[in-house]
Amino acid sequence: MKPTAPTFHTTTFPTPCGPFSVAVDDTGAVVATAFGDLHRLSERLKPTCNLISDKLSLTIPVKKEVDAYFSGKLHTFTVPLAAQGTEFQHKVWSALVAIPYGETRSYGGLAADLGNPTASRAVGSANGANPICLLVPCHRVIGADGSLTGFAFGEDIKRQLLALEGALPPQLIN
């Protein structure tokens, strides 16, 4: 018997950085997010999943927290997360969540935080595979020289998020 493809409940709503799409499982745990429409979100999920928008009530807690973040009232997300990944990716994603609001880390610094200072490329790869942007703050990881590298949704959005948090590297402040 062929396994049934998972079903995720989705919504897209406006933010100061443009449309933001969210997918949650049947319990309301976030499995993926994306700046952009549902097509952009589906790129971050397994190709064999079903995306539906029939239970918007499951996505309301995420929308409330994202809205509170953009209004400056929330610095730490509390909605449950259910990203799929390897053990190493989960270690990196946990380290990302541990970067405080208003701070940044370099890829090498994050690798050192994980106890393996030579693993900056592997950390960068795991960071890039993060399916839950914003809530798992991959935007807080910058180049060792302070450059805004490696954000799937572009440098402009990364710059806006870091500026909102007061974490934009000094050399990039206009």
Are 30 and 65 contacting, i.e. CB atoms less than 8 angstroms apart? Answer: no
- Report DSSP letters for 81-142, one per residue: B-----HHHHHHHHHHHTSPTT--EEHHHHHHHTT-TT-HHHHHHHHHT-SBTTTS-GGGEE
Q: pLDDT tens digits, residue range 4-54?
A: 778 899 999 999 999 999 999 999 999 999 999 888 888 877 666 777 776
Is 78 part of a structural domain of the chain? no
Structural domain containing residue 66? 7-71
Q: Is the pLDDT of residue 63 over 70?
A: yes
Is 156 part of a structural domain of the chain? yes
Active site residue 138: yes
Is 81 part of a structural domain of the chain? no
Is 128 part of a structural domain of the chain? yes
pTM above 0.85, yes or no: yes
Q: Are residues 95 and 163 in the same domain?
A: yes
Is 91 part of a structural domain of the chain? yes
Q: pLDDT tens digits, residue range 72-92?
A: 999 999 999 999 999 999 999
Is 2 part of a structural domain of the chain? no
Is 107 part of a structural domain of the chain? yes
What is the domain count for the chain? 2
Among candidate residues 17, 49, 133, 138, the one labeled active-site is 138
